[in-house]
Structure 1
């Protein structure tokens, strides 16, 4: 039964067509996957289906075929027509032009749609995990609501954090609570925009399985966007490949994914780069802390590491291995429990454990870091984020030239880079925001660049562009890169050497191909292509 009809939809932002005459049909109880690179129009379509402000189509219609109660305006999927509503009236079959509907009907449909956006943790920060879920449950008594909340948190594998305050959760844990909250609304349509794009493999697997059980297993209707082919294969009944706002192909998930992957380029093979002497030295570095739940946690446990000047060095491992803590120690955001951390500046070695302007303060201006939980300044456009917002004081004309250069370096072609200079973060796709954040680090031309999970929201094509841009930055600016990642394919493509971490320890250092041989079967399943979420 036809549920959602997308008819001749066109949408323009600032003179640029982002959706072009789209025609799509979603049947009740099916899952539509939308595959495409960053900036292809996936997120715009998702927000349009939800009825989000500023996403009204310029042309065309979004038609919802629903069962509507004429008395209380309750809304259900179309198969519920002619059944009895809780108020006692009978549901009637209605074809609703969503964006032209009566505002009460428009609001009634919106209430029955749940949406899960990438990198958006819409939680009550000061409330517990279970209270966050309970606030989304309506129409049930207290006891029933509590059992329902527990079941949903079990589905999201978050029962071990049920009494924790939301603000104290990690990003991945918050995303799992968001999923439980959205399912608690008992939606008739579930919209998911890159739900696993920014997550580590373990957390992505939790979300993935919860979507299979909570959506696909319950026969709900869903539209999900992703640039990961595996998500499309595992979840979708039909897949659409979207590029520059147009449908390139639609149909069987396996066939569409295969066609999409044929258009993903391989990174350029560069000549061997001659590195200099050591620029980073870590000796027996430890970071231990006490957790009420887990006792003494050895986040980093006796790490020895040496990175050469001009080297692209990878530290790989699954969630909880200690990678991010290691990057924070190196940057000086966290003090080690013991050990030595030295960074070479000119001809001098600087002790990064020494605070103040004569210690790590001397090195900080020459270090750049892109955190996994990066953010852009929402009230500044791209040009502002790249220059004035990070106190890079340049003449206006030179600032724009510099910004265009660095945007080109992270994968935007020259024409598109000019178009996005004056866009704000909410006008960019998730992958575009990620690349702008990377450009924000590179524009200051640091000696050492630390990238924590740099490929999180990037589609395969953009990943290749970023791989090439890292090599280009290394060659032109003699920059050194330390890449923290669970994406072994990316490390194989870009890194000169790599180390694998488990349980806070470095277990193997060598060429990336040598490190692959040391991966366990579980690590290979979650870190190598063909198995990623």
Structure 2
């Protein structure tokens, strides 16, 4: 039964067509997969289906065939037509043009749509995990709501954190609670925009399983976007491949994915690198937190580590291993509980545990960091974000040239990079924003660059481009990279050495290939996408 119909839909931002004459039919209870690299228009399409006002189509229609109760203004899937509503009314068939309809019907449709966005950990930070889920449940008594919340947390494998405060969770754990909250709304349509793009393979697998069990197997209509072919294979019934706003292929997931993968280039083979001597030294570094609910939390537990000048060093581990805390300590954002940290500037060693202009303040201008939860200035253009927003004062024409060069470094071609300069962050796809944030770090040419999950929202083609650009930046600018990642495939491609981190400790340091060989079969499955 036809549920959603897109008729000749076109959307333009800043004079550039982002979606071009799309015609798509989505049946009730089916899962449509939207495959494509960053910038293809996937997120724009998702937000358009969500009814976000700034994403209103320039041309075309988005039709929802719904069952509608005129008594209480409830919208449901079309199969409910003729059935009784819980309010006592009867569902009637309505063909609704989402962008040209009564305001109350528009609100009724939007209310019945759940969405899971990429890199979004929107929770009530001071509430417990179960309270966060309970706040999304309506129409049930207290006891029934509690059992529903527990079932959802069991589905997302979060029952071990049920009484923990949301702010104490790792990023992967927060994402699983977000999923439980969205399923708890009992939507008629579930939108998932890159729901596992930033997660380690183990956590991503948990999310995929929960989407299967909590959404697909319950017959909820779902539209899911991804640049990861495996997501399309596991979750979709039908796939469309978007390329710069146009459908260039569609059909059976296996067949479309196979043709998509033919377009993914292999990264350049990196040569063995000889460092210029130590540039970062850590000795027995610890960071312990204390909470009433959990007692002592050993986020970083006795790390001793030396990183060489010009080295690309990976710190690998699953969500919650302590990687992000370690990166914040390295940059000076988080004070260690104990231990020594030194970084080399010229011929001098700087004590990173000491604040002030004679301590880490002296080396801060020469450090760069890309956080996992990065952000751009929404009211500045891409050019502004790459220059004035970070106090990089350059003559106008030189600023433009340097910005284009840096955007090329992170994988944009020159023509497209030039077209991005006057756009605002909300006009970019999630993957494009990620690359601009990376460019914002690289444009200041720091000596040491810390990248926390740098490939999280990037499609396979862009990941290869970023791999090559990191190696190029190291070779041409003598930069040192510390890469925090759960993506072992990326670390194998780009890193000279790597450390395996789990439970706040480093278990092994060495060649990335040696670390892979040291993993158990189960660990390989969790950290390598091809396993």
TM-score range, shorter chain: over 0.9
Please give the alpha-carbon distance, in whole angstroms, between the structure 2 residues aligned to 1:256 and 1:332: 46
Matches within 5 A, 1:29-428: 29-428=29-428
Displacement after TM superposition at 1:365 (Å): 1.1
Decide whether aligned partners of structure 1 residues 13 and 359 sit closer, same or farther in structure 2, where only a CA change above 3 A counts: same
CA contact (8 A) 1:369 1:449 kept: yes
Displacement after TM superposition at 1:343 (Å): 1.1
Decide whether aligned partners of structure 1 residues 336 and 68 sit closer, same or farther in structure 2, where only a CA change above 3 A counts: closer
Decide whether aligned partners of structure 1 residues 131 and 322 sit closer, same or farther in structure 2, where only a CA change above 3 A counts: closer
Q: In terms of mean alpha carbon deviation, does 290-299 or 439-448 score higher?
A: 290-299
Please give the alpha-carbon distance, in whole angstroms, between the structure 2 residues aligned to 1:48 and 1:245: 13
1:49-88 deviation per Cα after TM superposition (whole angstroms, max 9, x unaligned): 1111111112221111111223333221111112122233
Displacement after TM superposition at 1:271 (Å): 4.3
Please give the alpha-carbon distance, in whole angstroms, between the structure 2 residues aligned to 1:109 and 1:296: 46
Decide whether aligned partners of structure 1 residues 418 and 78 sit closer, same or farther in structure 2, where only a CA change above 3 A counts: same
CA contact (8 A) 2:70 2:89 kept: yes
Please give the alpha-carbon distance, in whole angstroms, between the structure 2 residues aligned to 1:360 and 1:15: 45
State the partner residue of 1:502.
502
CA contact (8 A) 2:199 2:319 kept: no
Please give the alpha-carbon distance, in whole angstroms, between the structure 2 residues aligned to 1:334 and 1:142: 41
CA contact (8 A) 2:202 2:527 kept: no
Displacement after TM superposition at 1:238 (Å): 0.9
SS of the equivalent of 1:301 reads strand
Please give the alpha-carbon distance, in whole angstroms, between the structure 2 residues aligned to 1:174 and 1:448: 29
Decide whether aligned partners of structure 1 residues 521 and 479 sit closer, same or farther in structure 2, where only a CA change above 3 A counts: same
1:205-239 deviation per Cα after TM superposition (whole angstroms, max 9, x unaligned): 33222111110121111000011111111111111
CA contact (8 A) 2:42 2:225 kept: yes
SS of the equivalent of 1:100 reads coil
Compute the TM-score of the two structures, normalised by the length of structure 2.
Answer: 0.95
SS of the equivalent of 2:55 reads coil
Displacement after TM superposition at 1:274 (Å): 4.0
Please give the alpha-carbon distance, in whole angstroms, between the structure 1 residues aligned to 2:152 and 2:199: 20
Please give the alpha-carbon distance, in whole angstroms, between the structure 1 residues aligned to 2:327 and 2:126: 28
Q: In terms of mean alpha carbon deviation, does 116-125 or 417-426 score higher?
A: 116-125
Displacement after TM superposition at 1:328 (Å): 2.0
SS of the equivalent of 2:197 reads coil
Please give the alpha-carbon distance, in whole angstroms, between the structure 1 residues aligned to 2:335 and 2:112: 48
Q: In terms of mean alpha carbon deviation, does 351-360 or 431-440 score higher?
A: 351-360
SS of the equivalent of 2:449 reads strand
Please give the alpha-carbon distance, in whole angstroms, between the structure 2 residues aligned to 1:206 and 1:87: 36
Please give the alpha-carbon distance, in whole angstroms, between the structure 1 residues aligned to 2:274 and 2:313: 14
SS of the equivalent of 1:218 reads coil
SS of the equivalent of 2:40 reads coil
CA contact (8 A) 1:41 1:242 kept: yes
Displacement after TM superposition at 1:291 (Å): 4.3
CA contact (8 A) 1:491 1:512 kept: yes
State how many pairs are aligned: 531
Displacement after TM superposition at 1:16 (Å): 0.7
1:285-304 deviation per Cα after TM superposition (whole angstroms, max 9, x unaligned): 33334444444343333333
Decide whether aligned partners of structure 1 residues 112 and 312 sit closer, same or farther in structure 2, where only a CA change above 3 A counts: same
Please give the alpha-carbon distance, in whole angstroms, between the structure 1 residues aligned to 2:123 and 2:303: 36
CA contact (8 A) 2:65 2:77 kept: yes
SS of the equivalent of 2:282 reads strand
Please give the alpha-carbon distance, in whole angstroms, between the structure 2 residues aligned to 1:388 and 1:112: 42
Displacement after TM superposition at 1:38 (Å): 0.7
Displacement after TM superposition at 1:511 (Å): 1.8
Please give the alpha-carbon distance, in whole angstroms, between the structure 1 residues aligned to 2:453 and 2:396: 32
Q: Which runs of 5+ in 2 are unaligned?
A: none
SS of the equivalent of 2:456 reads coil
State the partner residue of 1:511.
511
Please give the alpha-carbon distance, in whole angstroms, between the structure 2 residues aligned to 1:124 and 1:439: 32
Matches within 5 A, 1:410-489: 410-489=410-489
Displacement after TM superposition at 1:325 (Å): 2.4
Decide whether aligned partners of structure 1 residues 446 and 43 sit closer, same or farther in structure 2, where only a CA change above 3 A counts: same
SS of the equivalent of 2:53 reads coil
Displacement after TM superposition at 1:384 (Å): 1.6
CA contact (8 A) 1:230 1:530 kept: no
CA contact (8 A) 2:201 2:528 kept: no
1:10-46 deviation per Cα after TM superposition (whole angstroms, max 9, x unaligned): 1111111111111111111111111111110101111
CA contact (8 A) 2:170 2:319 kept: no
Q: In terms of mean alpha carbon deviation, does 327-336 or 25-34 score higher?
A: 327-336
CA contact (8 A) 1:171 1:373 kept: no
Q: Which runs of 5+ in 1 are unaligned?
A: none
1:252-286 deviation per Cα after TM superposition (whole angstroms, max 9, x unaligned): 11111111111111112344444312111223333
Indicate the RMSD between aligned Cα atoms, in angstroms: 1.9
Please give the alpha-carbon distance, in whole angstroms, between the structure 1 residues aligned to 2:246 and 2:266: 24
Decide whether aligned partners of structure 1 residues 286 and 140 sit closer, same or farther in structure 2, where only a CA change above 3 A counts: closer
Q: In terms of mean alpha carbon deviation, does 98-107 or 480-489 score higher?
A: 98-107
